[in-house]
Amino acid sequence: MRGMSRGTTPQNLFFNQEYREALAYMKDISKSFYGNKALNNVSFNLRKGEIHVILGENGAGKTTLVKILAGLYSPDSGEIFLEGKKVNIESTRDAIKYGIAMVNQYPQLVEELTVADNISLSLNNVGLFNQTSKIGDKIIEISERYGFRIQPWKEIMNLSFSERQRVEIIKAIMLDAKVIIMDEPTTLLTTKERRLIYQFMKKAKADERGIILITHKLSEALEIADRITVLRKGKVVDTVDVSEATYEKLMEMMFGRTVAIHEKILKRGLGETTSRRVLEISDLSVKDNYGRLAVNGISFHIHKGEIYGIAGIAGNGQIELVEALYGLRKPVKGDIKIMGKNYWEYSKKEIKRIIGYIPDKIQDAVVLDMPIYENSILKLYDTSEYIRNRFIIDYDRAIEYSSQLIKNYYIAAEGPDVYAGYLSGGNLQKLVLAREISIDPPLIVAVNPTRALDHFSTEFVYETLYKFKETGKAVLLISEDKDEVLRLSDRISVMYEGRLIEMGRREDVDVDLMEEYMIRGQNED
């Protein structure tokens, strides 16, 4: 092909050895969401047989960049070249066709089907006849070669988190992907499981594949990478060889200054606690949807003016705990007291109003095909504040109220009549937070409240929760992000397999020990 004469291709590209040989080269990529620049002229290249780490804070644009390569987003501007040829990736199907596969942070698999069925689905060979029996052998072969053990005939719902992740990895290999993107794959793994992932990446690299690893862990980048590209606020700071990189240097690249994370965490003073207990839980047990004991006899309490943080990896009973607390799930045994009164003394509706709840799945707290103003009154629509003539809703008032929320909580929406479905995940999260805090309940339960948020919104949410607690209210913070828990909470515990491990007041917490408990439920020694 006479590529040089092609107008769309910059001439210098073909004289530049580096880019011609790049397995994947993304050039001057820009992408905005609702007016916010997520990526600003980012260029990135991946060589054959390398592990290329993309490093950056939450909200730096790492995931956006790889989602463009994987066909999940389309860039506003910029070009993508694969082995020197310009390509147009419009969908995940295109990406798969070009040999690009992404291993999701939260594996997206069909719970009821087996491993082989799930892989078969993505291979696009679902025909009249089931061909999964052939696939089964291939799965076993691949899993042995890369050192995973996985049974192709097991249903996904019986697999642990790390096993699910392996399914996604095997899928990528079965698709014969040349570019494998791994989005924070080790966040929720034990040390041993983490080793297996590293081992896989090294073997894949030896097969001439290119691995893109997204992480915000410096130590991981230094341990496994060949090259490291650091992103900050949507721009590339630099791409460096791992031999040139040090912990301090990367730190400075990521944050623009040298700060130890722990200093940042302890910047805030501790809250003054009073003896009044807002929430008191004793010996609570709750079952999950499958009838298994997800919460196993836990007890704790939260004072007025206190943030109680529960750290833990998803799936250790946190969701069942808060659902029982919010009245969505019946406990098997145990007592809950709120403001000194027994749980059953409150009606179902009252519970919803004395607990502000920001759920893990934010979509469960909003109605996407209703405008913001209707969403803003979800908990108050039948109170005297919004009801005229006994049953007519005062929508003028709702519109006025929601305009206030949009303004005070910096929700990116043109006005109160925008449908919630057109808001980004982060803005939905802010909308729910705004609504729940405005009800002014004595207790807020927040589950991963900043998961979908960029750097600035995260800070805003922290600020809001902090101010809320300072007015003498209580917050139960449940998060997978240990730094978040450490930064906000007055007292901390770790949830592991349905039990709580008290870590004590924040200043007494041994961070390494806490991480051990989160991953393993016990100290390694």
Partner 1 sequence: MSLERRGYNKLKIELSIKRRPRELPYSNIIVPMGSIIISLIVSDILLVLSGVDPMVFFIVLADSFLSFSSIRYAIPLILSGVGLAIAYKANVWNIGAEGQILAGALAASGVALFYIPPDMNPVTAAVVLYVIGFSAGAGLGLLAGILKARFNVNEVLSTLMLNYILMQIVNYLVYGPWRGVREYGYPRTDIFPDNVWLPQLIIGDMRTTVNIPTLAISLIIPFLMYFLLFKTKWGYEIRVVGSNPNAAEYGGINTGKVIALTMIISGGLAGIAGVGEVLGIYRQLIRAERVSAGFGYTAIIVAWLGKLNPIGALIAGYFIGVLVSAGYTLQIISRISYGAINVVTGILLLSLISLDFISKYKPIVKVVR
Catalog residues that contact partner 1 under the rule CB under 8 A. 23, 82-83, 85, 90-91, 93, 97-99, 176, 178, 208, 326, 328, 348-349, 351-353, 357, 359, 361, 363-370, 374, 378-379, 381-382, 387, 391-393, 395, 422
**Beta carbon of residue 323, minimum distance to partner 1 (angstroms, whole number):** 10
With residue 370 as reference, give the H or E element that holds it. Answer: none
Q: Whole-number minimum distance, CB 3 to partner 1, in Å?
A: 13
Taking Cα atoms as reference points, which of 299, 365, 367 lies closest to residue 333? Answer: 299
Q: How far apart are CA 321 and CA 288, in angstroms?
A: 10
CB closer to partner 1 out of 94 and 155: 94
Q: Which is nearer to partner 1, 91 or 158 (CB)?
A: 91
447 within 8 A of 273, measured Cβ to Cβ: no
What lies within 8 Å, CB to CB, of 112 at 6+ separation is: 155, 156, 157
Nearer to partner 1, 1 or 260 (CB): 1
Q: How far is the CB of 277 from partner 1 (least distance, A)?
A: 24
Structure tokens at 513: 């020990």
| Identity of the residue, 290 or 391, whose beta carbon is nearer to partner 1 in the bound complex | 391
- φ, ψ for residue 78, nearest 5 deg: 115, 170
* Distance of closest approach, residue 382 Cβ to partner 1, in angstroms: 5
Task: Please answer whether residues 299 and 284 qualify as being in contact, where contact means their C-beta atoms are separated by less than 8 angstroms.
Answer: yes
Q: Toward partner 1, which CB reaches closer, 142 or 354?
A: 354
Rounded least distance, CB 328 to partner 1, Å: 6
Choice between 194 and 379, CB closer to partner 1: 379
Tell me the C-alpha distance between 53 and 58, whole Å.
Answer: 15
CB 118 within 8 A of CB 112: no
DSSP class of residue 362 equals G
The torsion defined by the Cα of 511, 513, 517 and 520, in degrees rounded to 10, comes to: 120
User: What phi-psi label fits residue 356: left (phi over 0), alpha (psi between -120 and 50 degrees) or beta?
Assistant: beta
Least CB distance from residue 519 to partner 1, whole Å? 30
CB of 445 to partner 1, least distance (A): 12
Instruction: Give 97 or 467: the residue with its C-beta nearer to partner 1.
Output: 97
